[in-house]
Amino acid sequence: MNNFEYVNPTKIIFGKDTIQQVAQEIPSNAKVLLLYGGGSIKKNGIYNQVKTALIAIEVLEFGGIPPNPEYSVLMKALKVIKEENITFLLAVGGGSVIDGTKFLSSAALFEGDTPWNILKDGIRTNKGMPFGTVLTLPATGSEMNSGAVITNAETKEKLGMGGPGLFPTFSILDPQVVASIPKRQLANGITDAFTHVLEQYMTYPIGAKLQDRFSESILQTLIEIAPKVLDDPTDHEATSNFMWSCTMALNGLIQKGVPTDWAIHGIGHELTALFGIDHARTLAIIAPSHYKFNFETKKEKLAQYGKRVWNITEGNTEDIAHAAIEKTEAFFNGLGIETKLSEYTPDYNGTAEKIAERFTTRGWLGIGEHKSLTPDNVEKIVKMAY
C-alpha cells in the first residue's frame, strides 16, 4: 500500500425527509444564492421543500445551469454573486449544478481577470466561498469531493478543476429524490459510479486489500440494485443503496494508498466536448477498449474483479480477465447504454486523431496509472471504440 493522507470535511445528512434540515447548516446571517439546473426541481417538489426550509434566510436564486455546466452561463451567476454580495452558495441539483457551484465558489474569490484560467492553467483552489448541496441525482460523487468539470462551448473544451477549498460544507442526500429521475439518467448514474470505482481499482495489485474490497463491494452493490432502481425508483432500500454507493465511489476513500487510472474519464470528456454525449455514456464507450488495449498491464486486477465481482471461475488469469471485460460491457448494454461511438454519432471519423492532437497540445503526453499512455495510444483506444 502507498503512503497517504485523508481528509474529507463534508458533513453528510442522509435519509428520508432530510431536506428540511438545510437551514440548520447555513449561517443565519448568510446571504444565499440558490443555484439549480433546467427546472426539474420545480416539477418534483424539491424546490418547494428547500424554499420552505429556508424561509428565515435571505435567498436569491440562479437557475438554468445546463448539464455539463457551461462557463458562459456560470459567468452570469458570478456577476450576481459579486453584485449582490452573496456569502453562501447552495447547489440544488445533480453533478452539473454542484460542479457549476464549485466553479463559482472558486471564481468568487479568484483574483485574476479570467476565471477560465482556473481550468486552463490548472490552478488549485485552496479557499472558496462556502457552499452546501442538496443532491437530486446520484451519480458523480461531487456532493462529497472537491473536484468539478466545466464546459466551454466556445472552445469545445471540458476541463477539470479542484482543490481542498472545494469540498461542500454539507450535502443532503434524501434518496426519495430518485423517484422523479428519468430512466436514462438513472442508467447514467449507475454507469458513472461503476466506472469511478473501476478507475481507482483496475490498475495493478499493490496489496491494498481493504481498498480492493471496498471497491468490489461498491461494484457488487451497484450490480445488485441496478435492476431494482430502474424497475421501481421509489424502492427505498434500492435507492438508498444506490445513492450511498455513488457517493462512496468518488469521495476519496477508495483511492487512498492505491494507484489510479482516470484515462477513461480523460478521453471521455473529449467525447462530451466534441459531440455532447452524456458523461456516463462516454465512459461506457471508452472503458472496454481501454481495458482491451491495456490488457497486459491490467490483467491481474481484471481477473481479480472477474472472480470476485462477477463470480467467473472458468479458465486461467487471461481467460477470466477477458470474460470480465465482456461482463462489464454487457452490464452497460443491459442498462440501455450503447458502447460504441458510432452508435451515438455518424461523424466519428477523425475523432481519435483530434483527441490525440488535443492531448499533445495540452502536454498530456502520458496518462493512466503508469503515466505511459501516449497520445498515439489514446488514438488507438478511441479507434477501437468506433
Q: Which residues bind Zn ion (CB under 5 A)?
A: 192
Q: Is 233 in the site for ligand NZQ (CB under 6 A)?
A: no
C-alpha grid cell for residue 329?
460491457
Closer to ligand NZQ by Cβ: residue 245 or 304: 245
Q: How many CB atoms neighbour CB 295 within 10 A?
A: 14
Q: How many CB atoms neighbour CB 39 within 10 A?
A: 11
Q: Whats the size of the chain, residue-wise?
A: 386
Please provide the DSSP assignment of 6-31 as one string: ----PEEEESTT-GGGGGGGS-TT-E
**Binder of residue 40, out of ligand NZQ, Zn ion, none (CB less than 5 to 8 A by kind):** ligand NZQ
Q: How many CB atoms neighbour CB 20 within 10 A?
A: 13
From residue 243, give the alpha-carbon distance in Å to each of 106, 161, 190, 368.
26, 24, 9, 28
**Binder of residue 239, out of Zn ion, ligand NZQ, none (CB less than 5 to 8 A by kind):** none
Size of the site for ligand NZQ (CB under 6 A): 33
Min dist CB 313 to ligand NZQ, Å, is 32
Round to whole Å and give the CA distance between 249 and 140.
8
C-alpha grid cell for residue 155?
472552445
Min dist CB 132 to ligand NZQ, Å, is 15
* Contact yes or no for 323/306 (Cβ under 8 A): yes
Per CB under 6 A, which region of 105-113, 180-188, 236-244, 252-260 contacts ligand NZQ?
180-188
**Binder of residue 67, out of Zn ion, ligand NZQ, none (CB less than 5 to 8 A by kind):** ligand NZQ
Per CB under 6 A, which region of 18-26, 91-99, 208-216, 299-307 contacts ligand NZQ?
91-99
Per CB under 6 A, which region of 73-81, 140-148, 208-216, 338-346 contacts ligand NZQ?
140-148
Q: Which of 42, 34, 11, 194 is nearest to 98 (CA)?
A: 34
Q: Identify the residue among 91, 177, 271, 277 touching ligand NZQ (CB under 6 A).
A: 177
**Binder of residue 185, out of Zn ion, ligand NZQ, none (CB less than 5 to 8 A by kind):** ligand NZQ
With cell 481519435, the residue in question is 352
Min dist CB 192 to Zn ion, Å, is 4
Round to whole Å and give the CA distance between 356 and 351.
9
Binding string, residues 270-309; x marks residues near ligand NZQ by CB under 6 A? ---------x------------------------------
Q: Is 227 in the site for ligand NZQ (CB under 6 A)?
A: no
**Binder of residue 87, out of Zn ion, ligand NZQ, none (CB less than 5 to 8 A by kind):** none
Q: Identify the residue among 45, 147, 257, 276 touching ligand NZQ (CB under 6 A).
A: 147
CA dihedral over 127, 362, 159, 298, signed as positive or negative: negative
Closer to ligand NZQ by Cβ: residue 87 or 180: 180
With cell 485552496, the residue in question is 126
Closer to ligand NZQ by Cβ: residue 181 or 238: 181
Helix (H) or strand (E) holding 229: helix 209-231
Round to whole Å and give the CA distance between 259 and 289.
20
Closer to ligand NZQ by Cβ: residue 93 or 368: 93
Instruction: Give the 3-state secondary structure percentages of the chain, helix then strand then coil, rounded to 5.
Output: 55, 10, 35
Contacts of residue 368, defined as CB under 8 A and 6 or more positions apart, other chains included, come to: 261, 262, 263, 294
Min dist CB 56 to ligand NZQ, Å, is 25
Q: Are strands 147-152 and 157-162 parallel, antiparallel or unpaired?
A: antiparallel
Q: Identify the residue among 125, 133, 185, 304 touching ligand NZQ (CB under 6 A).
A: 185
Q: Is 38 in the site for ligand NZQ (CB under 6 A)?
A: yes
Q: Is 115 in the site for ligand NZQ (CB under 6 A)?
A: no
Residues of the shown chain interacting with ligand NZQ in the complex, contacts defined by CB under 6 A: 37-41, 44, 67-68, 93-97, 99, 136-137, 139-142, 145, 147-149, 177, 180-181, 185, 188, 192, 250, 265, 279
